[in-house]
Structure 1
Amino acid sequence: MSTTPVRSVTEQTFDAEVATSTVPVLVDFTATWCPPCRLLAPILHALAVEGAGHLKVVEVNGDDQPRLAARFGIRGFPTVIAFVGGKEVARHVGLTTRDKLLQMVRAHLPPGERRLSAATA
């Protein structure tokens, strides 16, 4: 098992990591050349650590996975999509805050994990 809290997914691993996940998933569509993506990465990393077991965070390199990016209509980086039960429930394009990312999935977290908030950052 990987020790990295944010796993990279590909077209081949997307369904196993996201579509069949039993917990909400934040999917970060990113690119190595994207400065806002680099600023967002530590926020997503912290959420992955704090939400381990109740929230999953994965990343998709849009340059390396163009078909996957096209599948979800990605037009800009970073784009973060929240999935619950394999279905998209929210989307944000551009740099954002930790609290806004949590708002995307908070209603879908187990009651004890809804305590995750910007105040605990």
Structure 2
Amino acid sequence: MTKFGELINFNKPVLIDFYTDWNEIENNIETLRDVAIALGDKAKVIKIDIKKNEILADALRVKGNPTFMIYKNGEMKWRQTGFKDAKTLIGLVQEYF
């Protein structure tokens, strides 16, 4: 995997979804696709599997599924655990344009 610092060090918002496959209801790929389509090139949308990236998840203290984070210029701007619908996520990311 690309180094985490390279993923978050952009001057546009980066929405990250830390997830695991054990809960299909909360691992809704269509929601993130809708968010990515709506935001276009104004933001990046990334999914990171907690089980495949346990060291990173532990370092960031990711305990719940899903955990969403928004970064801009390498700095965390927002974080929340629990399912969010596409409209809510789009609005949150747009705050950091």
Normalized against structure 1, the TM-score is what? 0.72
Question: Between Structure 1 and Structure 2, whose CA radius of gyration is higher?
Answer: 1
Answer 1 or 2: higher relative contact order, Cα 8 Å, separation at least 6.
2
Q: Does 1:22 align with 2:22?
A: no
Number of aligned residues: 97
The DSSP-based 3-state class of the residue aligned with 1:38 is coil
CA-CA distance at 1:82 after TM superposition: 0.8
In structure 1, the gaps of 5 or more residues are: 1-9, 110-121
Q: 1:55: how far off?
A: 0.9
**1:1-80 equivalent positions in 2, closer than 5 A:** 10=1, 12-18=2-8, 20-39=9-28, 41-80=29-68
Instruction: Tell me the distance in 1 between the aligned counterparts of 2:60 and 2:35.
Output: 23
Q: CA deviation at 1:84?
A: 1.3
Provide the identity percentage.
Answer: 22
Displaced runs of 4 or more, over 4 A: none
Could you give the per-residue CA deviations for residues 66-120 of structure 1, whole angstroms, max 9, x where no partner exists? 01101111011100101111111111211112232123222211xxxxxxxxxxx
